[in-house]
Structure 1
Amino acid sequence: MKLAIVGGGISGLSLAYYLQNDFEVTVFEKEKWGGKAYTAKVGEYLMEEGVNGFLSNSPKTMELCEEIGIKPIKANDNSKIRYIYDNKLIKIPLKPLDFITSDILSWKGKFDVAMEFFRKPVCDREETVAEFATRRLGTEFKRRMMTPMLAGIYASTPEITSMNAAFPKLKKIECEYGSLFKGMIKLKRGGQPTGELHSFEYGMSEMIEKLKEKTKAQFIQKEIKDIDELKDYDKVVIATPAYDAAQILKKYEKLSLLLNEIPYNPVAIVGFDYDSISPVCFGILTVENKTLGILMDKYIFPNRNGIRVMVGGARYPDIKDMSEDEIIEIAEKDIYEVIKNANPKIKWIKMHKKAIPNYSLGHQDLVKKIMDEAKNVNVYLTGNAYNGVSFNDCIKNSFELAEQIKKEK
């Protein structure tokens, strides 16, 4: 049987790998293999155009690396050092005792967090991240912790992001154990993300190239504009962003309209290097700036010698209509404000006008409608628009879809 996959990002490529022994697979990609998991070579610099690594807490990603014969490298201990910028640099505490003595929150803010243990869960309705965080942990925690975290993961804001869709595991802990703290105690883990950050010696593109090399498929550099171009295939999977899927599936009006309901946040990635940069850390997330965060790539992985600045997101969507020079100017200004560096040795930019899907209120219901409608027209969908935006999510979801497709063969 012949199977077509439209989209050569990590979702499409990992799906092709998982199905290579069951189908005659063809993968179509209109731009570059890997999508946003792409390492740009800029002179002597390596600059990630998107994700810079993945956590080792997802078995499927680590298993896939082992199967294709590529060894991930673990980030060094600098990756555990992280800061928030809220008119001053504040180091994020890693241990409960450090949290108590830190100036990350006022004493009132810390008391609000401590009271989380006694607050009743809300499990009968969907909430925004802002509503959830304020209700369980207090207004101050929402502003100073959840706001930068949402910017770092989704390039979004707590007010427009669904807690149920963006952080389903935390919501599940609240409802199963009655409290985040009670759940974490019983699960024997703290508030830090589980797993350790990994990448590859020369960037994320290394895995993309190895995955292609180890996959028995036909790889075609071509833009698919209409589903009717794939009539010769027995099964079709669309592994593109939702807005591209909507265009490809435009003959199915209801499905196309549903896909177009998923909003995307713009992000510009600006690369710099300076003679010296401090603090030595993983990165800095901001609370209010047009710059969402600064990633100190040079301090956490080998063969990296620059830093990257993330600008825009839902906090400042106007960047999608700005020139590259204007965006670089914003990034330079914020770099100077946050870490007092000026006169970079290199300036590089990659603009993603639709970078990351926003999991808004109603996202889970919308995804169910999309998947039901896709099933009605005999098309499969995968990618980061539906059930998780991370590199790990994409691989896990592709594995699960592959198992489903095999059963329905």
Structure 2
Amino acid sequence: MRVAIIGAGISGLALAYYLQKLGVRYDLFEAGEQVGGMLKSCQQGPYKFELGPSSLHLTPELEELLQELKLQEEKVTPPALEAHRYILKNGKYQKLPISPLGMLFHPFFDWRTKLRIARETQCEKKEVKEETLSHFFSRRFGQEVVDYLVKPMVAGFYAGDPDQLLLEKTFPFLQKLEQEHGSVLKGLVQAPEMKRRPVFTLKSGLASLSEAIASKLISLHLGQKIEMVHKLHGKYLLSIQNDVEGLSDEEFDAVVIALPAHPAADLLNYVAPGLSASLFNVTYAPMAVVHTAYRRADVKFPLNGFGALHPKRENTFTCGSVWTSSLFPHAVPDKEVLFTTFVGGMQWKEHLNLPRQEIMEKVHAELAALYGISAKEPVFQHYHRWAKALPQPDIFIQDVHTLAEALEEDQLYCCANWVAGPSVSDCISFAKNMAHKIKSQRPSF
């Protein structure tokens, strides 16, 4: 059996790695000269920062992968204060309690909301078709929970708007708790304890993870863009631009699409027109990432935690910031602090219509106001924009998932974050499972 994988982002790389471990022949094609997709690390002078994910959650698959790639010595974990998360309310940052039940004894919510939370166990169980996150949390916990907890958290995780995102595609375990226990709180009490996954980065940057995987692959082809996928007599043929290796003449038993949704739609137009049409409807959130450094002496706020998020109701310019220097002090010089600030996403996307310099100036002005920063300007600032940062698991993703699953019978697979989930750990776990699925479906001779 021979498999063609198209796209060397983290999903395509991980799939190739696991297929190679299983002894399945593959060829991994990447149109560009670099691998890793949104895993992009940067160093400018003494400053180290990420343009994509600022850190990763340490899942069992990732921990095993780090060991196999001999990256354990590169791993950097933050101090215990990482568990502290803040939300802006009434113009000031308030620390959130770590446990859901802790909300009842914390001054963050109004007493009426606390009463609503306490009575959630009496709330009627319902099955709502295509229910959004906002609708689910509003009917079970009240609107203040939506405005001041769900909306900022979803903006941080999906760059999304919970008014549009589907519960079953984002947090299906909450839907399961309601249906099985009649209450989310009852379910959380009765369910096995859920441990918070620790976060980490790598000394050389998270891009070194994708580079380490790529270094192990024996059939990685860079600078080879796939222009079309054909199927003839049960085999797949690829039209390859700059095909110096003559791979267009090779036959493949299976093809895996590991591209963003819209490039995948262009590629599948001939061989899977139904999925292609659905992929064009996938919504992507735009996002700008601004890294800003100051002298520590100029910042009054203590920065003891992971970072802070901004509810839309607070009328801020940014979605919030990760306190990068608090998590990973090696990223900045001594006596300096570094903020990784996010602008845009689905809830604030109109802010990205401004010129780059104005966005950077507004980020500095907001940081100065919220954190008591006395400096007139930062000692360092960097801007990067993702026109299509994250795919949104909204109503349009339903058909995509259904059609993608049906095509697996024809040995045409999809392995990307629009099916796996938004995080790197989601993509790696999905790729590992897919590798075993492909091996199990190969013909036996």
- Matches of 1:236 and 1:403, distance apart in 2: 15
SS at 2:419's partner residue? coil
Counterpart for residue 264 of structure 1: 284
Which residue pairs with 1:291 in the alignment?
318
- Structure 1 unaligned blocks of 5 or more: none
CA distance in 2, matches of 1:213, 1:85: 43
Equivalences for 1:117-266 in 2 at 5 Å?
117-189=121-193, 194-227=196-229, 228-229=238-239, 231=248, 232-234=250-252, 235-251=254-270, 252-266=272-286
Structure 1 CA distance for aligned equivalents of residues 224 and 380 of structure 2? 33
1:243 is displaced (CA, Å) by: 0.9
Distance, in Å, in 2 between the alignment partners of 1:77 and 1:242 is: 37
Deviations 1:346-378 (A, max 9, x none): 111110011001111353343112332x44764
Whichever residue aligns with residue 382 of structure 1, its letter is C
What letter corresponds to residue 323 of structure 2 in structure 1? M
Q: CA deviation at 1:321?
A: 4.2
Shift of 1:98: 5.3
Is the Cα–Cα contact under 8 Å of residues 202 and 303 in structure 1 kept in the other structure?
no
The question of 1:336 aligning with 2:368 is answered yes
Please tell me whether the aligned partners of residues 278 and 399 of structure 2 are also in contact (alpha carbons under 8 angstroms).
no
Q: Distance in 1 between matches of 2:284 and 2:100?
A: 36
Q: How many pairs were matched up? A: 405
Residue 331 of structure 2 corresponds to residue 304 of structure 1: yes
The worse-fitting range, judged by mean Cα deviation, of 21-30 and 5-14 is 21-30
1:222-280 Cα deviation digits (max 9, x unpaired): 43333342553403211111111112223243221111111000000001100024323
Structure 2 distance, partners of 1:322, 1:36, is 23
Q: Secondary structure of the equivalent of 1:269?
A: strand
1:340 partner letter: G
Does the CA-based 8 Å contact 1:268-1:327 persist in structure 2? no
Preserved contact between residue 4 and residue 237 of structure 1 (Cα < 8 Å): yes
SS in structure 1 of the partner of residue 131 of structure 2: coil
Partner deviation per Cα, 1:89-136 (whole Å, 9 max, x = no partner):
111112568534432111111111111122122235221010001011
Using the alignment, how far apart are the partners of 2:185 and 2:164 within structure 1? 25
Larger radius of gyration: 2
Instruction: Provide the secondary structure at the position in 2 that maps to 1:354.
Output: strand
1:315, CA displacement in angstroms? 0.9
Corresponding residue number in structure 2 for 1:76: 79
Shift of 1:2: 3.7
Letter in 1 for 2:437: Q
Tell me if the contact between 2:35 and 2:210 (Cα under 8 Å) persists in the aligned partners.
Answer: yes
SS of residue in 2 equivalent to 1:370: helix
Residue 317 of structure 1: aligned partner: 349
1:297-325: CA deviation from partner (whole Å, max 9, x where unpaired):
11112421222101000012235544321
Q: 1:188, CA displacement in angstroms? A: 4.1
More divergent stretch after superposition (75-84 vs 338-347): 338-347
What is the match of residue 60 of structure 1? 61
TM-score computed with the length of structure 1 as normaliser: 0.92
Whether the aligned pair in 2 keeps the contact of 1:127 and 1:361 (CA below 8 Å) is no
CA distance in 1, matches of 2:262, 2:380: 33
Pick aligned residue for 1:379 from 395, 398, 412: 412
Does the 8 Å contact 1:80/1:281 carry over to 2?
yes
After superposition, the Cα gap between the structure-2 partners of 1:8 and 1:181, relative to the gap in structure 1 and judged at 3 Å, is: same
Distance 2:353 2:144 in 1: 33
Of the structure 1 ranges 83-92 and 312-321, higher mean CA displacement relative to structure 2 is found in 312-321
Shift of 1:44: 1.5
- For 1:260 and 1:333, the matched residues in 2 are separated by 38
Deviates most, 395-404 or 274-283? 274-283
Q: 1:383: how far off?
A: 0.8
Residue range with higher mean Cα deviation, 255-264 or 332-341: 332-341
Structure 2: gaps spanning 5 or more residues: 230-237, 241-247, 333-337
- Give the Å deviation of 1:31: 5.7
Match of 1:41 among 24, 33, 43: 43
Q: SS at 1:367's partner residue?
A: helix
Q: Which amino acid aligns with 2:344?
A: G
The residue that corresponds to 1:282 in the other structure is 306
1:327 pairs with 2:384: no
User: For the Cα contact (< 8 Å) 2:321–2:340, is it kept in 1?
Assistant: yes
